[in-house]
Structure 1
Amino acid sequence: MLNEHRLRREIVGEMHLRRWPPITPPMSIVQILRVGPSEGLPPFRGGPAFAAEPGQRHMQGILADGLLFTWERHSEATTLTVFASPDAPLLPEARAWAESAPGEVLRATLIDIESDAAAASARMAQFEVDPAELVCCDFGGGARLSSDFRIKDEGYGRLVVAAGQLGPVDLARAVQSLQELGNYRNMALLGLPVARAVWGKLDAAEEELRAFGRKLDSDEVSDNDLLDSLCAMSLELGTIAADTRYRLSATAAYARLVDERLATLNPVAIPGFASLADFTQRRFYPAIRTCETVVRRQQELAERSAQLTSLLRTRIETRIEDQNAQLLKSLESATQTQLRLQHLVEGFSTVAITYYAVSLLAYLSGGLSLFGVHVEHDLFAALVIVPVFIMLYVYLRRERHRLGAD
C-alpha cells in the first residue's frame, strides 16, 4: 500500500478537471461567467440542487437527455456551461436554469457549433451583424470563428464556430480555449474603470509634487509645514495604491492568460475580415496598457514623494545640526567665561582667606604676651602674609585639579 501525500489525488485530479466534454456538431452551448460568491447551482425541473462541497472547484453532470453541464469556481468568478443539441426540447429550460444561478453576470455567450464554414455562414446570417465589426478567422488548427463580440438584445453575445476538420476532442479543447480567452479578457477589463477613476487623482498628485519641488527652493513655507504636506501626500498615494492594487494586479494576471490563450489558438486571418488577434490588439491591449500606466505612475509618484520627503528631512536635520553646533559653541563660550570668572573669584577668595588667616594669627600672637613673649603685631602680620597666601593658593589649586580629575 502506497503512503500517499494527502494532496496527491487532489493535485493530479486538478490536471483533468477543466476539460470540456467532446463536442460533435451541430451543438448549442450556453456559457455564463459570474462574479460573486456561489456555493452551488439551483435545482433543474424540481430535481435536487447541485450543491458544491466546501473547497470544490469543479462540478459536472447531466440535466436531462442530451443536456450536459459543467460548473467551475475560479478565484473570483464562476462559469456555468450547458451543452445541448440545437433541437433539444429542454434547451430553453436549461438556459433559464443557467440564468437563475446566483451571482452577477459578467459575460454570457451563446455558441452555435456547425459542421462546416457554409453552415456557419448561414447561421451567422440570421443575426444582425455589422460587416465592418465582424471578426472571422481560423483558429485551433482548423475551426473557424465568426462573431462581432457585441451584446445582443437578449443579453448574450453570439459566436458561431465551424468545426472544419477538428475531431470532437480537439474541437472541445479549441472552443474551451476560445471561451477562456473571452472570459479572461472581461475579467482583465474590470481594472480599466478603476484605472480611469484614479487617473485624475494621479494628475493632481503629480502637479502637487511639482509645486512641492518649487517650494523647496523658496522660503515661503516653513520646512515643518512642507513636511506635513508631503506626509499627507504620501499617505494619499498609499491609499490610492492600496485601493487599486488588487484589481490592477488581477488585470495584469488575466492579461497574461489572454496572451497564453491567444498563442494557443493561433488565429489565422481571413482576407476581408478582422481576426481574433486584430480584435484583441486593437481593443484589449490599449486598455491593458492604460492599467499598466496607472500602476507605473503610482510607483513613480510614490518614489518622487519619498525622494522629496527624504530631501526635506535631510535639510531639516542639517539645520537642526547647525543649530545644535551653534548652541554647543555658545555653551562652550559661556563655560569658558564662567571658568575665567571662577578663577578670578578663586583669586579673590585666596586673598580674603589670607586676610582672615593673618588676622587670626595676629590675634594668636597677641595672646603670647600672657606667657611673657612680646611680639610686634604689625611686623608679625607682615611676615606671615606671603607664606599664608602661597600656602592657601597652592592648596586651593591642588584641590581644584583633583576635583577636575574626578
Structure 2
Amino acid sequence: MPDQDSPARTLGHLPQHPLRYKLNNEVHARPPVSLTHPKRVSYLALIHDGTTEDGELQQLRALADAFARPLPEADGGHLQLDVGDFLLKWERHNEFSSYAFFCTPRADETDARHGALPRVPPGWLEALPGSVIVATHIELQSTSALGPKSVMDGLISSGRQGVAAQVADGAAWVFTDFMLTDGWSRYLVLDERLTPRQAGRTVQRLLEIETYRVMALLAFPVAKDVGRLLGRAEGELADLMDSMGTATTPEDERNVLSHLTRLAAEVERSVARSTFRFGAAQAYYRLVTSRIGELREQRVESFPTIGEFMDRRLAPAINTCEAIARRQEELSGRIARNSQLLRTRVDIELERQNQELLGQMNRRAKLQMRLQETVEGLSIVAITYYASQLVQYLAKGLHAWLPVSPEAITAISIPVIAGLAALGLRRMRRKLAAEEGTH
C-alpha cells in the first residue's frame, strides 16, 4: 500500500485502451431499481423481429415527449426514464428488448390486475416494435398489509396449482402460478424486512426468471421438428447402409453415395439452423438456475418452490433439447463416417479398375514390342536385300577388274550386310534404353 501522505500517482501519458472504461463500467450496468412497498411493476419483453435500436429509441423519445421530459442517453443499450407518474426501465438484449414500468399505486387505484399500465399513455404500448414473448405483473406489498397465510389459503381454496417460497433468507414471500391470465403472468411479493435494494434485486430476479425460462423454451418446438427429421434420417441411413452392404457394382455404390451426400446436406442444414437455438437455450437455462439460486428460497409447506417447479417442468424440456442436439451431432458424424467408408470402397474399386487397365496396357505394350521385333527382323531383311542389290550393281560395273563373278560377290555380301544391320539396330536399342533409364 502506498503511503497516504505521498501524492497520488497518476497514469500520466500512458496510452489507454479504447475499451478500458467501457469494460470496467459493464459490471455496473443495468442496476436494479430500488423499491419500497407498495409498488406495481408491469414488464414486457419483445422479440426484435428485425427492429433496430434506433426504432426503439424513437418510441421511447415519443413517450418522453408526451410527459415533456428529456430522454436520457442510452448507455450500452439500457436507460431509465422517470416521468414522475411512473419509472420506465428499458434494456436491449441480443434477441429481445424489455420494458419494465414501476409505479406506486394511489389510494383510488384498488384494482391491481393491470399493474402499472394505466399510467402509460393510450396507444403507446401498441406501437412498440417487435412481438411480445413475455408479459408479467408483479405486485409488491408488505406482510402487514397482506398476510402470507391469507394468500396461501386463497390459493388452496381456488384449486389452482400455486408456487410459493420465502426468499432472501426469509425476508420476503413470493407467490405465483406461472399461468397466463388475460395474456399476463402474475407475481405477488410480500415484503417482510427487505431493504429497498434487496426488494429491487428480488423483483429483477423474478423478471429475469420469467423472461429466461420462456426464452429457453423457444428451443423446445425446434427440438420437436428436429426430432422428426432425425427419426426419418436415421431410418434412411440404416436403409442406405443395407444397400451399401448389398451393392455389387460401382453404379450401385455411386447411387448409395449420392443418397448419402443428399442426406448429409439435409442434416447439416438442420444443424446450421438449430445450433444457435439449442446453445441459447442452454445459456438461458443456466441464467434461470442462477437467478433461482440467488433468491435463496425456503420451502413453504404444501407449496412447491420456484426451483422445484422449474426442475419438474423446465428441466425436462431443456434436457430434451440437449438430447436432440447431441443426437443430431452424432447422426451428422455417423453420416460422415459412412460416407467416408463408401468413398473408400469406391476408391478401392477405381484403383482395381486402374490396375486392370494398366495390366491391359502392359500386355499391349509387350505385344507391340514383339510386333516391333518382328518388324525389325523384316527391316533387316529389307535392308539386306536392297543393300545386296547395290553391291550387285557395283560388282557388275567393276566386273572387268574383279577376279570373281558379280553373283559371288553379292552372295558373300548378304550375310555381312545382315550382320551389320542387326548389330546397328541392337546398339540403337541399347542407347535408347540407357537414355530412358537416366530420366
TM-score of the superposition, structure 2-length normalised? 0.85
Contact (CA 8 Å) 1:111, 1:158: kept in 2 or not? yes
CA contact (8 A) 1:129 1:148 kept: no
- Give the Cα separation in 1 of the matches to 2:157 and 2:99: 26
Partner residue of 1:379?
Answer: 408
Partner of 1:214: 242
Preserved CA contact (<8 Å) 2:155 2:161:
no
Q: How far, CA to CA, are the matches of 2:139 and 2:340 in structure 1?
A: 62
* In 1, Cα distance between equivalents of 2:255 and 2:70: 62
1:398 maps to amino acid: R
Q: Equivalent residue for 2:133?
A: 106
Q: Partner amino acid for 2:92? A: R
Q: Which moved more, 1:129-138 or 1:25-34?
A: 129-138
Q: Which runs of 5+ in 1 are unaligned?
A: none
Aligned counterparts of 2:69 and 2:341: Cα–Cα separation in 1: 64
Q: Name the CA distance, whole Å, in 2 between partners of 1:71 and 1:124.
A: 33
Instruction: Determine the structure 2 residue equivalent to 1:393.
Output: 422
Query: By how many angstroms is 1:144 displaced?
Result: 1.4
Deviation at 1:10, TM superposition (A): 2.6
- Name the residue aligned to 1:71: 90
Do 2:72 and 2:81's aligned partners in 1 also have CA atoms closer than 8 Å?
A: no
- Judged with a 3 Å threshold, the aligned counterparts in structure 2 of structure 1 residues 403 and 49 are, in CA distance, closer, same or farther, namely farther
Q: Kindly provide the amino acid, as one letter, of the partner of residue 149 in structure 1.
A: F
Q: What letter is aligned with 1:103?
A: G
In structure 2, C-alpha distance between the alignment counterparts of 1:318 and 1:273, rounded to whole Å: 67
2:220 counterpart residue number = 192
AA aligned to 1:195 is A
Name the aligned partner's letter for residue 20 of structure 2: R
Matches within 5 A, 1:270-349: 270-349=300-379
Structure 1, 197-206 or 8-17: larger mean CA deviation: 8-17
Partner of 1:138: 166
Q: Alpha-carbon deviation of 1:354?
A: 1.1
Equivalent residue letter for 1:255: Y
Provide the identity percentage: 33
Residue 375 of structure 1 and its aligned partner are, at CA, apart by: 2.6
Q: Name the amino acid aligned to 1:138.
A: Q
CA RMSD of aligned residues (A): 2.5
Answer yes or no: is the 8 Å Cα contact 1:57–1:74 preserved in 2: yes
Change in CA separation of 1:124 and 1:8 when aligned onto 2, cut-off 3 Å: farther
- Deviation >6 Å, runs of 4+: 124-129
Following superposition, the deviation at residue 55 of structure 1 comes to: 6.9
Tell me which residue corresponds to 1:257: 287
Residue 173 of structure 1 corresponds to: 201
Aligned pair count?
403
Change (3 A) 1:327 1:49: farther
1:362–1:306 CA distance, 2 compared to 1 (3 A): same
* Aligned positions of 1:11-160 closer than 5 A: 11-36=23-48, 37=51, 39-40=56-57, 41=60, 42-43=62-63, 46-48=66-68, 56-65=76-85, 67-87=86-106, 91-95=116-120, 99-100=125-126, 101-116=128-143, 118-122=146-150, 130-131=158-159, 133-142=161-170, 143-153=172-182, 155-160=183-188
Gaps spanning 5+ residues in structure 2: where?
Answer: 1-9, 110-115
More divergent stretch after superposition (254-263 vs 201-210): 254-263
CA distance in 2, matches of 1:89, 1:104: 33
8 A Cα contact 2:169 2:298, kept in partner:
no
Structure 1 CA distance for aligned equivalents of residues 69 and 38 of structure 2: 29
